[in-house]
Amino acid sequence: MNKLAQWVSLSILGIGISFQGNADSLTHSSSLLSATSSHTTTLEKQLDTHTLTQSELQQKAQEWGLSTEEWQRYLELRKGERGIWSPNLDPLTTLGIEAKNEEERTRYAELLARKMYERVERELAFQRAYDNAFAKLYPNELPFEVEPHISQSAGRVIYFTRLDNCAKCEADVSRILSHVGNSTPVDIYIVGANDNAIREWAKKHHIDPIKVKKRLITLNHDTGYWLQYAKGKMPAAFQIQQDGQWQSLVY
């Protein structure tokens, strides 16, 4: 299975499709709303059969490869318990979950797989275009990300360093990167540095932008993890084990 297909398979589990309705054109449908129906949204008003002409109904159904009868069943399902449990679920997933038999379930699964594949292809194409545009406009900038939570993926190396008051840190970063090699991902947490300082540090130490883009190396602000895990040692490196435990690296 190629990477795109893997992404599609994973994305299906978390798919959520949202629409933006026109509130002015839907004023006459406001009676559909009630205080006890929190799952009723602008989307529901937009898609309700009472506010759609037959041609609009057919158009929306065709966008998902469905008949108008299937689309109407989807709308009915949204009004019931499925709409409460999963208010933002797309039509194909909704119909697939509530399929009447295996044949229906298989059909909706295949339609969704095609839909997701097309979606991901378009998103990847735009991401490539964005990456090219960024590289062209800002050739000397090195992207970095601020991680909201420290990685717990087994095998990743967590490395803490700082830019000042640490003579050992200057020479140590090349040692740790050489130690882990080209295949082990490294999350570098820099203590007490701003965005520009991190970029300049990365350029100075020849951090490979390709590895940053592929997330083999991530550059991050430290937000307290150093004191929590390294207990004041600087620099410090750890590797996440299969059981989630941190093992201090000697290199």
User: Are 15 and 110 in a shared domain?
Assistant: yes
Among the candidates 116, 141, 171, a domain finishes at 116
User: Are 192 and 111 in a shared domain?
Assistant: no
Residue 241 lies in a domain: yes
User: Are 31 and 86 in a shared domain?
Assistant: yes
Identify which of 206, 180, 203, 201 has the alpha carbon closest to the alpha carbon of residue 191: 201
The reported pTM is 0.44
User: Are 204 and 106 in a shared domain?
Assistant: no
Residue 167 lies in a domain: yes
User: Are 172 and 112 in a shared domain?
Assistant: no
User: Are 9 and 100 in a shared domain?
Assistant: yes
Residue 207 lies in a domain: yes
Among the candidates 116, 132, 148, a domain finishes at 116
User: Are 168 and 225 in a shared domain?
Assistant: yes
CA atoms in the 13 A half-sphere facing the CB of 41: 14
User: Are 75 and 176 in a shared domain?
Assistant: no
Among the candidates 89, 116, 143, a domain finishes at 116
Res 68: pLDDT: 92
Residue 147 lies in a domain: no
Res 250: pLDDT: 73
Residue 81 lies in a domain: yes
Residue 216 lies in a domain: yes
Residue 129 lies in a domain: no
Residue 140 lies in a domain: no
Query: Under 8 Å CB-to-CB from 188, ≥6 apart: which residues?
Result: 159, 161, 173, 217, 218, 219, 220
User: Are 32 and 112 in a shared domain?
Assistant: yes
Res 152: pLDDT: 62
User: Are 184 and 239 in a shared domain?
Assistant: yes
In 123-250 the beta strands, taken as DSSP E runs, fall at 157-162, 186-191, 217-221, 236-240, 246-248
Res 94: pLDDT: 94
For the chain, list residues with pLDDT below 70: 1-52, 140-152, 251
Instruction: Assign 3-state DSSP to the chain and report helix, strand, coil percentages, each to 5.
Output: 55, 10, 35
Residues 138-159 as b or e (16 or more Cβ within 10 Å = b) = eeeebebeeeeebbeeeebbbb
User: Are 162 and 110 in a shared domain?
Assistant: no
User: Are 107 and 196 in a shared domain?
Assistant: no
Q: What's the domain count of the chain?
A: 2
Q: Tell me which residue range forms the domain holding 188.
A: 157-248
